[in-house]
Amino acid sequence: MRLLVTGSRGQLGRALERLAPRFGHGFVGVDLPELDITDAAALRAAVDDAGPDAIVNCAAFTAVDAAEGDETQALAVNGTAVATLAEAADRCGAVLLQISTDYVFDGTARGPIREDQPTNPQSAYGRSKLAGEVAAALARRHLIVRTAWLYGEGANFVGAIRRQLDGGSRTLLVVADQIGCPTYAEDLADGLLRLLAAGAAGVVHAVNSGSTTWCGFAREIVRLLGAEAEVVPVTTGEMPRPARRPAYSVLDTSRLQALLGTPLPPWQDALGRHLRAGR
């Protein structure tokens, strides 16, 4: 299979590039500054040049707070450009794999969220990603994968905690009233490639097994690093941000397990592997 991966220099794009050869796949990566996916003509040309069997769209406007002040640009990247990809995928007969997010939900659920539960984004970022889901579904062959709390090689929560510890911080204030599923880019990439091999279609939730709060996540990072630091729980209200975060966004992965025969590994195991890899 020949893969075209947009946003190839991001956390997930890099993981896909590392894993693609293990599945016998060819890999073509595109990203800024060489390609701006909001340039429809350039995007169509990139797809035509690559001649892919599958397009994995990892490109996204991911600055959640910045999107509140620039929803137009967030929608152009996360929504409108996906419609162009859907059209291009149909033209070359490729499947479009669109990466989406837990932010399409409003955070009021009281149990793991299934793929068929109603969406209700509460932020500009969430609205733009939901628009991307709608656009991706226009492709004749499409797979929409929602994930959450992603980390890997690049800027992310794990790296932010490490930098604070390396900078000498011994008290970390971390939100304790948001619950979700930390997800390792390497495990997600492996899951995506297996979903493609299985011919999966429609919407699938893919996160590492288990759930925690950001505070619990931070405490496990500190523990695994053997650092001497106290993680102090605070509320979302005590650390206000421009964009509203889902208070509860644990994604149900029953469909993923049915398709692959196994869930993604526990988040604690994944975090340990990430820290040992030193990325």
Residues 110, 90: Cα–Cα separation, whole Å: 38
**Which residues are CB-neighbours of 149 under 8 A, at least 6 positions away?**
102, 157, 180, 181, 182, 183, 207, 217
Task: Provide DSSP, 44-84.
Answer: HHHHHHH--SEEEE------HHHHHH-HHHHHIIIIIHHHH
- Amino acid at site 53: D
Task: Judge contact between 248 and 109, C-beta under 8 A.
Answer: yes
Q: Residue 252 CA to chain centroid, in angstroms? A: 15
Could you say which of 125, 151, 184, 248 is catalytic? 125
Distance spanning both ends of the chain, measured CA to CA: 27
Residue with tokens 């709390």: 149
What's the rounded Cα separation, in Å, for the pair 180 and 112?
A: 10
| Among candidate residues 174, 274, 152, 187, the one with its CA nearest the CA of residue 225 | 274
Active site residue 248: no
Q: What are phi and psi of 203, to 5 degrees?
A: -110, 135
Partners of 175 in beta bridges: 234
What is d(CA 237, CA 245) in angstroms, rounded to the nearest whole number?
11
Return the H-helix or E-strand segment holding 168: none
Q: Which residues are catalytic?
A: 125
